[in-house]
Structure formats: C-alpha cells, structure tokens
C-alpha cells in the first residue's frame, strides 16, 4: 500500500471516531488498522492470512520499517510474520512480543451483525477477532510504528511475532508458532510477552477487581478409549459387549478425581481472587491458598467449574462413537476424553493413570496427537513491575496476580523451548462479556485503546528505555 492510500485511510478513520473521544494520531491509526484487520476472514480454510500479512507489511513499510527487519514464515495456506526492532546493546538477549492473526471461524448468518466488519455500538467494538486476538495484533503494530516514528532505538532488541495459526496449529511441528520459536531472531529470547491472554476483570459495577498475568498453562491432551469385541447378531447377545465395557470405563473416569496440586503461582492466584470473591466461594479459595491440604476447601472448589482447573488435572469425556448397525452386536466402541494437565505432570503419566482408573485390560487408552507440555514461568519482579506500572496508570488501585491458564495459547510453545512467557493484554472486561470464539465477540472501546497503550508502555520499559 502506498503512503497516500494510508493517508486517505487515516482521514476516513478519523471521521468515524466519536467526537467526544480524545484521539491522537496514534489512536486514530490503531483504530484504522483494527477496522481493516477485522475484514480479513483469517479462519482456517479461508486462506486470508497471507493477504492480511501483505496489508500489515505495507503499513510497516510506509511507517519506515526496513524490509530486512521483516520475515515471513509460510505454512500451508497461512503464514507467520516477524518484525525486528534492533537494539543498541547487541549483547543483551532480545525480548519477544506475540499476537495471533487467525480467528475461529464465524458464520455471518449466525451473527446479529456482520462479523467481518468492525462495528462500534454503545461503547463496544463488535466483530470476529476483536478480543481474540486482533486487538493484540494492533497493539504490536502500533508499538512498532510509534517506536519507528519517534526514532527510538531500544536498548535491547525487540522482536514482534505475528502467529498465523494459533487456533488450529499449536500442536503441529511446522505450525507458525513453532517456526517462530525456532527462528534465529527469536531463539534465545530472554522472555516473551503474549497479548493473547492475561487482562483485567471488571466487577458488575464496572470497577476493576483484579489484573491477571498468565504465567503458566495446563497441558491440553486428548485420549481415546477403545473397547473391542468379536460382535455378532443382536438376536444372540453374548455376555460381554463393547458398549457396556466402554460405558463402565467412562463412568469410572467420571467418578475419579485427580490428586490436588498447587504451586506458588496457583496459590497466589487463588488467594488474590479469594480476597475479592464474596461468600463461601471466596472463603474456600482463601482457605485453599493458605493450605492446599485443606480437604474441605478442595472439595468445595471441586464443584466450582471456574476454579477446579487451577487445583488439579481434570479429564472429561467429550465424545462417544460405538456400533455399526442397530441389529448387530458392537465390535468397537470409543470414547474421547479431553484432559487439562497440571504443569509438571507428564502426558504419559495421565494416560497410565486413566488406564488404572478404567481397570479393564480389554480397554485400550491411547494419546491423540503429540501434546506439548510447558513449564511454569514464575512472575519475575522486574516484569511484574513493568506490567503493574502500566496498568496502574489507568487503574491505580488494582491488585495484580499471576494465573494458570486452562486453555491453550502460543505461550506454551515458547515456554516449551525455554522462553519464559507472560501473557498481559492490558484489556479489562467483565467476565460475562467474554465471547471469544462465540457469537457477537466484542471488546470495550476503552479497553481496546488501553491494550494498545499497555503494550507500548511495557515494550519501552522492558527495552530499557
Ligand atoms: Zn487467542
């Protein structure tokens, strides 16, 4: 894209910014990039990531970024991109910032508004990817462009990673995240800041309650349980049956609780959340944080879908497939069991434990794919300070805590290759407004701009400037 087209784009974006908002040129540009990014249907199968990368590259080149500081990492229909801002002190290890460009698909016919158009309504930006994770892509872009414009040379090298397949390619050996982690610009980075998780929570009254920094992720692993049987005609039932065998196995898994676990990070998190949670729920969280051996507290949390994942490995049956005809005895029955494994526990230990729980040698328990386990990144005081300083500019009183993610983000790939990673988006939302992957995904307008400022602040502080 030429600079004159960029200028026209900026002018148009400026016209759509509400008059009451005080927007500088950087905010106007951030919004313009955001609007453009939402229009690319960057979900798997639509092949739109390369076009979006071409657009981003055009904006960067117009902003003065040299082409030899931009690298592209193709993978099938998608592509990752790296942008390097060389530092003055080459002896110091680089710092990595990361966002992903792909989205979970949204079907326009299911949405109230067009998911591939940025729509501002009553204080929110709507559109697929507004929160997951195109706001993060904009934050990275804006930070690079502002550094370039201000002629700031960071003390240490900053590398900005734009992942092309986070939603679908995390466990693929040649996925763009793994390519990024192995790239010479990134390899040996001292640490990474991920924009795809971490953030603030507003209470129902809109006041900030807590700010959470993701410092670890559970391992996502899926297992398949298979019962087999010689089968036969259903008019001649035999005493053993693949469906009955599998049903018993699945029931045993449903009744089993993995042992309670904790580490410094999860105790800090549950204690901090307990402090701001009222009633018996808050009480259980505080007691567990003070003493993870408190069986009654652990039992109370067991029944709490929001927090059970922070206290142990969890496994749950998610799919069943059995039989081949209504008048035949089943020859095969399979169940899919999805687990979120506590950091420090190996995938194979969980597979073996499931086998023991099932306690039926006729049932085979198999790991699906090649799950990646990642270590905990304990929150370093200098990182915590840099994040807190930025957050408290906007929310002076808010408490900060690390947390263990139950989902899965690029952070687990970086951590698994030895790059400690903390996710901090700078974005505050109400938990019941979290529609990532779902219908009517949105982000509060103020939180979008706060997130952009946050990454810029943190990049400057951590670069040593
Ligand atoms: Zn995401």
Ligand 1 centroid to residue 75 C-alpha, Å: 18
CA-closest candidate to residue 461, choices 396, 391, 402: 391
Asked if residue 9 has pLDDT above 80, the reply is: no
Ligand 1 centroid to residue 97 C-alpha, Å: 14
* pLDDT at residue 417 in the model: 95
Ligand 1 centroid to residue 115 C-alpha, Å: 16
Higher pLDDT residue, 191 or 4?
191
Q: Rounded distance, CA 267 to CA 212, Å?
A: 13
Tell whether omega for the bond before 138 is within 30 degrees of 0, i.e. cis: no
**pLDDT, mean of residues 233-261:** 97
Ligand 1 centroid to residue 71 C-alpha, Å: 22
Ligand 1 centroid to residue 79 C-alpha, Å: 16
Kindly indicate the confidence band of residue 22, based on its pLDDT and cuts at 50, 70 and 90. low
Asked if residue 6 has pLDDT above 60, the reply is: no
Ligand 1 centroid to residue 132 C-alpha, Å: 5
Ligand 1 centroid to residue 165 C-alpha, Å: 10
Ligand 1 centroid to residue 293 C-alpha, Å: 34
Ligand 1 centroid to residue 301 C-alpha, Å: 27
Ligand 1 centroid to residue 286 C-alpha, Å: 30
Ligand 1 centroid to residue 330 C-alpha, Å: 40
% of the chain surpassing 90 pLDDT: 84
Residue 382 CB-density burial (10 A; 0-12 exposed, 13-18 middle, 19+ buried): exposed
* pLDDT at residue 17 in the model: 40
Ligand 1 centroid to residue 150 C-alpha, Å: 30
Ligand 1 centroid to residue 203 C-alpha, Å: 23
pLDDT tens-place string over residues 387-436: 999 999 999 989 999 999 987 899 999 999 999 999 999 999 987 776 77
pLDDT tens-place string over residues 351-379: 999 999 999 999 999 999 888 889 999 99
Ligand 1 centroid to residue 291 C-alpha, Å: 33
Ligand 1 centroid to residue 8 C-alpha, Å: 31
Ligand 1 centroid to residue 99 C-alpha, Å: 8
CA-closest candidate to residue 443, choices 422, 425, 416: 425
Ligand 1 centroid to residue 407 C-alpha, Å: 9
Ligand 1 centroid to residue 292 C-alpha, Å: 31
Asked if residue 194 has pLDDT above 90, the reply is: yes
* pLDDT at residue 1 in the model: 31
pLDDT tens-place string over residues 72-118: 999 999 999 999 999 999 899 999 999 999 999 999 999 999 999 99
Ligand 1 centroid to residue 430 C-alpha, Å: 17
Q: 232: which strand partners?
A: 329
* pLDDT at residue 296 in the model: 95
Ligand 1 centroid to residue 166 C-alpha, Å: 7
Tokens of 437: 């992957």
Q: Compute CA 376 distance to the chain's CA centroid, rounded to the nearest angstrom.
A: 15
What is the four-CA torsion angle of 232, 235, 236, 239, rounded to 10 degrees?
90
Ligand 1 centroid to residue 134 C-alpha, Å: 9
CA-closest candidate to residue 124, choices 453, 444, 457: 444
Residues in the chain: 465
Tokens of 266: 């999860």
Ligand 1 centroid to residue 86 C-alpha, Å: 27
CA-closest candidate to residue 364, choices 228, 247, 251, 256: 228
Ligand 1 centroid to residue 303 C-alpha, Å: 27
Ligand 1 centroid to residue 229 C-alpha, Å: 42
Q: Rounded distance, CA 50 to CA 67, Å?
A: 16
Ligand 1 centroid to residue 254 C-alpha, Å: 29
Tokens of 350: 């969980």
Ligand 1 centroid to residue 364 C-alpha, Å: 33
Ligand 1 centroid to residue 296 C-alpha, Å: 35
């Amino acid at each position: 894209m030429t600079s004159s087209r960029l200028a026209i784009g900026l002018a148009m974006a400026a016209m759509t910014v509400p008059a009451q908002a005080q927007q500088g040129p950087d905010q106007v540009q951030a919004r313009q990039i955001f609007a453009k990014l939402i229009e690319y249907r960057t979900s798997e199968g639509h092949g739109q990531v390369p076009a979006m990368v071409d657009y981003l590259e055009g904006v960067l080149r117009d902003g003065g970024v040299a082409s030899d500081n931009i690298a592209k990492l193709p993978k099938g229909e998608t592509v990752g991109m790296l942008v390097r801002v060389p530092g003055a002190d080459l002896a110091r290890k680089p710092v990595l910032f990361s966002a992903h460009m792909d989205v979970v698909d949204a079907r326009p016919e299911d949405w109230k508004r067009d998911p591939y158009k940025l729509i501002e309504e009553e204080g929110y930006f709507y559109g697929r990817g507004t929160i997951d994770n195109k706001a993060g892509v904009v934050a990275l872009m804006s930070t690079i462009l502002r550094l370039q414009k201000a002629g700031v040379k960071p003390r240490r090298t900053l590398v900005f990673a734009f992942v092309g397949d986070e939603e679908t390619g995390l466990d693929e050996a040649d996925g763009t995240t793994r390519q990024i982690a192995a790239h010479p610009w990134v390899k040996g980075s001292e640490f990474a800041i991920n924009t795809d998780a971490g953030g603030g929570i507003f209470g129902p009254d809109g006041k900030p309650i807590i700010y959470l920094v993701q410092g670890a992720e559970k391992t996502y692993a899926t297992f398949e349980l298979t019962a087999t049987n010689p089968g036969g005609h259903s008019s001649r039932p035999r005493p053993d049956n693949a469906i009955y065998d599998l049903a018993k196995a699945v029931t045993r898994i449903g009744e089993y609780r993995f042992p309670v676990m904790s580490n410094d990070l999860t105790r800090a998190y549950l204690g901090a959340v307990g402090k701001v949670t009222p009633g018996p729920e808050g009480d259980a969280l505080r007691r567990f944080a003070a003493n993870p051996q408190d069986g009654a507290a652990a039992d109370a949390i067991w029944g709490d879908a929001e927090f059970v994942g922070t206290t142990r490995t969890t496994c749950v049956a998610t799919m069943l497939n059995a039989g081949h005809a209504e008048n035949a005895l089943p020859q095969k029955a399979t169940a899919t069991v999805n687990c979120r494994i506590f950091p420090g526990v190996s995938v194979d230990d969980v597979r073996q434990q499931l086998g023991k729980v099932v306690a039926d040698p006729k049932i085979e328990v198999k790991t699906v794919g090649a799950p990646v386990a990642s270590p905990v990144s304990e929150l370093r005081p200098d990182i915590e300070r840099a994040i807190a300083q930025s957050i408290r500019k906007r929310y002076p009183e808010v408490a900060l805590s690390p947390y263990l993610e139950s989902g899965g983000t690029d952070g687990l790939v970086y951590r698994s290759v030895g790059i400690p990673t903390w996710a901090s988006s700078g974005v505050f939302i109400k938990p019941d407004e979290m529609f990532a992957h779902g219908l009517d995904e949105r982000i509060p307008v103020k939180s979008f701009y706060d997130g952009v400022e946050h990454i810029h602040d943190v990049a400057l502080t951590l670069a040593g400037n």
